[in-house]
């Protein structure tokens, strides 16, 4: 079997593999390039993996993060997650990377040991996600939400909104795009891209679209929630600016926290960041715990870093 075929089989047995690293997820999100995977065996089994999104532009070959993929990076079987094993396994993964102009990935916060990457000339920046865990006492979680959100947003919206699951894709895309337009930002992916992802999430029972609607069937907020065997992840949440002051997005986030606990029976709800100050403030007002993760990168030469910066402008 090829590395990809072997990895597809491995994904079926890796109990705590994040949804973002599942082979079927990468099939959908890695548009404009392709995904590859590095495997390391130990004791006759796959002990470590490193899936990555490979893109090419002329002579430039580089690794970056796909859309709607918060984390990738290495995965190590739980029984080998000790320093004495990790250093060797991670070094073996790094040594198998192809020749690249540059490499950029966000590692899942389960992996705190990036030292072997540092030894190979990679650089790192600490980023933060925001999580609520454990979710076994929802009353305590609710009490940890700021009084303003509880009394002025969630309580008032509860009188006029209900959560539903049957939103047409065109409407979900429209409302999600409105949030970007309000911030004068282009929506980063097409409706077809989003539709393909949601179709696969539903097929693998790993995600669903939710929305908040009032008595007049007006859509206030929409959200895409993903999940795996350990956590749910708030991937996209958007508000119609016409109703934003009524707190539908805050109310919907609270409904999804309850859904994660009561329906999915998962211990963790992950807001997926953000490093952007206004968004971070919202996450913090939910009482979410700041959780660090590593953004790791390496340029093969200094001019690639300059070209990469210029490309983003």
DSSP readout, the chain?
--HHHHHHHHHTT-TT--GGG-HHHHHHH-TTSEEEEEEEEETTEEEEEEEEEEEEETTEEEEEPPTT---BS-EE-GGG-SHHHHHHHHHHHHHTPPP-SEEEEEBPTT----HHHHHTT-EEEEEEEEEE---S-HHHHHHTS-HHIIIIIIHHHHTT-EEES---HHHHHHHHHHHHHHTT----S-HHHHHHHHHHHHHTT-EEEEEEE-TT--EEEEEEEEE-SS-EEEEEEEE-GGGGGGTHHHHHHHHHHHHHHHTS--S-EE-----SHHHHHHHHHTTPEEEEEEEEEEESSHHHHHHHHHHH-
- The residue ranges of every structural domain in the chain are 3-126+293-312, 134-267
CATH of domain 3-126+293-312: 3.40.630.30
Asked whether this chain's domains 3-126+293-312 and 134-267 adopt the same fold, the reply is yes
pLDDT score, position 278: 64
What is the model's pTM?
A: 0.93
pLDDT score, position 280: 75
134-267: CATH architecture:
3-Layer(aba) Sandwich (3.40)
Average pLDDT by stretches of 10, the chain with 313 residues = 94 94 98 96 94 92 95 95 92 96 94 94 94 96 93 89 94 89 81 95 97 95 97 93 86 97 98 73 84 94 71 60
pLDDT score, position 132: 96
pLDDT score, position 144: 94
């Amino acid at each position: 079997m090829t590395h990809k075929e072997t990895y597809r089989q491995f994904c079926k047995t890796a109990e705590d593999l994040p949804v973002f690293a599942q082979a079927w997820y990468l099939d959908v999100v890695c548009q404009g390039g392709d995904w590859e995977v590095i495997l390391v065996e130990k004791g006759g089994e796959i002990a470590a993996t490193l899936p990555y999104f490979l893109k090419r532009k002329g002579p430039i070959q580089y690794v970056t993060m796909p859309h709607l993929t918060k984390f990738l990076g290495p995965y190590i079987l739980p029984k080998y997650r000790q320093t004495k094993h990790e250093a060797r396994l991670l070094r073996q993964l790094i040594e198998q990377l192809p020749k690249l102009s540059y490499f950029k990935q966000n590692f899942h916060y389960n992996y705190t040991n990036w030292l072997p990457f540092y030894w190979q000339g990679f650089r790192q920046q600490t980023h933060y996600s925001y999580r609520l865990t454990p979710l076994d006492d929802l009353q305590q979680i609710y009490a940890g939400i700021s009084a303003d959100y509880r009394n002025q947003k969630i309580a008032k919206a509860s009188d006029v909104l209900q959560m539903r699951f049957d939103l047409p894709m065109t409407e979900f895309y429209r409302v999600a795009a409105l949030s970007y337009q309000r911030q004068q930002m282009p929506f980063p992916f097409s409706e077809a891209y989003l539709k393909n992802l949601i179709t696969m999430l539903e097929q693998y029972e790993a995600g669903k679209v939710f929305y908040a609607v009032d008595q007049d069937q007006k859509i206030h907020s929409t959200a895409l929630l993903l999940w795996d065997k350990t956590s749910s992840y708030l991937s996209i949440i958007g508000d119609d600016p016409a109703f934003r002051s009524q707190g539908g997005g805050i109310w919907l986030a609270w409904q999804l926290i309850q859904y994660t606990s009561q329906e999915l029976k998962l211990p963790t709800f992950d807001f997926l960041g953000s490093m952007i100050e206004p968004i971070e403030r919202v996450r913090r007002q939910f009482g979410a715990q700041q959780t660090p993760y590593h953004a790791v990168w390496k340029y093969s030469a200094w001019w690639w870093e300059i070209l990469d910066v210029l490309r983003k402008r």
